[in-house]
Amino acid sequence: MSTGNMNLTLKVWRQKNNNAKGALVDYKLADISPDMSFLEMFDVLNEQLINKGEEPVVFDHDCREGICGMCSMFINGRPHGPKDLVTTCQLHMRSFKDGDTIVVEPWRAAAFPVVKDLTVDRSAFDRVIAAGGFISVNTGNAQDANNLPIPKMQADAAFEAAACIGCGACVATCKNASAMLFVSAKISQLALLPQGQPERYRRVQSMVAQMDAEGFGNCTNTGACEAECPKGISLENIARMNRDFASAKFISEETV
């Protein structure tokens, strides 16, 4: 079915379910086209497995255009593979060479338990957002949008933090499995905007508390998260979060 000429060896993590023991399994693939995306290469593998009567590799994916944050493969030791600033679904086989051996594992972190094969459970991220990653405004209570001018630089900075897709690459790559880049991106987005001020210090405390409760590790400033983030979310966000978290202890009279 494919028209290319790349031959590859894949070592793919197979694990029946969360309780089962997993292992890397070797697969040979021939005639892979360099124009295929990495996930399309997996489609070819799965089609072959099904035709042989075997179970296909389960992996998370959905939009396949780099925005939903669902795809999550750890490829040759790097989340989303060898290229900077792309998700696995936007990684193309032209980034590999004929004859390559490619090792594909799931995200590994205590807070992201493996569900099956390459699929992990990232619901911890949702619970961190539920703890405070919002502005408390019910539908129907908003004033005219232009009654609140926001300097462009500030709005742009908030947007850059808000571009996080919640994929979890930052956690997967961190030796401490820290979620600080993810958590701080949301905290920063809202802390940079005037709408986010009323709950600013309450928010940082409750989100950090939930982050700790989920079992994510601490930050030791290696910067791997920033380097591997497919959306280029900046480490500055972590600094901002830490500042707000420290300030909250002095400024805020609220306790969470």
Partner 1 sequence: MSDINSNIPEGELTSKWTKYKSSVPLVNPSNKRTIEVIIVGSGLAGASAAATLAEMGYKVKCFCFQDSPRRAHSIAAQGGINAAKNYQNDGDSVYRLFYDTIKGGDYRAREANVHRLAEVSANIIDQCVAQGVPLAREYGGLLDNRSFGGTQVQRTFYAAGQTGQQLLLGAYSALERQIGMGKVEMYTRHEMLEVVKIDGKARGIIARNLITGEIERHFGHAVVLGTGGYGNVFYLSTNAMGSNVTAAWKAHKQGAYFANPCYTQIHPTCIPVSGDHQSKLTLMSESLRNDGRIWVPKKKDDNRKASEIPEDERDYYLERRYPAFGNLVPRDVASRAAKERCDAGYGVGASKLAVYLDFKANTERYGKIEASKAGNHNPDKETCMRLGTAVIKEKYGNLFDMYAQITGENPYETPMRIYPAVHYTMGGLWVDYNLMTSVPGLYCTGEANFSDHGANRLGASALMQGLADGYFVLPYTIGAYLSKEISVKAIPTDHPAFAEAEERAVGILNTLINIKGTKSVDHFHKRLGNIMWEKCGMARNEKGLKEAIEEIRALRHEFWSDVRVPGTADELNTELEKAGRVADFIELGELMCIDALNRNESCGGHFREEYQTEEGEALRDDENYAYVAAWEFKEGVNFELHKEELKFENIKVAQRSYK
Q: Write down the least CB distance from residue 245 to partner 1, Å.
A: 19
- Distance of closest approach, residue 222 Cβ to partner 1, in angstroms: 26
In the region spanning residues 179 to 198, those forming contacts with partner 1, defined by CB under 8 A, are 189-190, 193, 195-196
Task: By CB under 8 A, name the one of 12, 38, 45, 66 that touches partner 1.
Answer: 66
Amino acid letter, residue 72:
S
Residue 32 and residue 39 in contact, taking contact as beta carbons nearer than 8 Å:
no
The yes or no reply on residue 26 touching partner 1 (CB under 8 A) is no
Which member of 11, 27, 40, 209 binds partner 1 (CB under 8 A)?
Answer: 40
What are the φ/ψ torsions at residue 116 (nearest 5 degrees)? -165, 135
CA dihedral 93, 97, 103, 108 (to 10 degrees): -50
Structure-token pair, residue 100? 């390559």
AA identity, residue 218? N
The residue range among 6-14, 60-68, 175-183, 221-229 that interacts with partner 1, by the rule CB under 8 A, is 60-68
Q: Based on CB atoms, which residue is closest to partner 1, 55 or 239?
A: 55
Nearer residue to partner 1 within complex by CB, 65 or 212 = 65
For residue 3, what are the contacts with CB-CB under 8 A and spacing of at least 6?
Answer: 31, 33
* Residue 94 DSSP class: G
In the 8-state DSSP scheme, what is residue 68?
S
Site for partner 1 in 127-166 (CB under 8 A): 129-146, 148-152, 155-156, 158-159, 162-163, 165-166
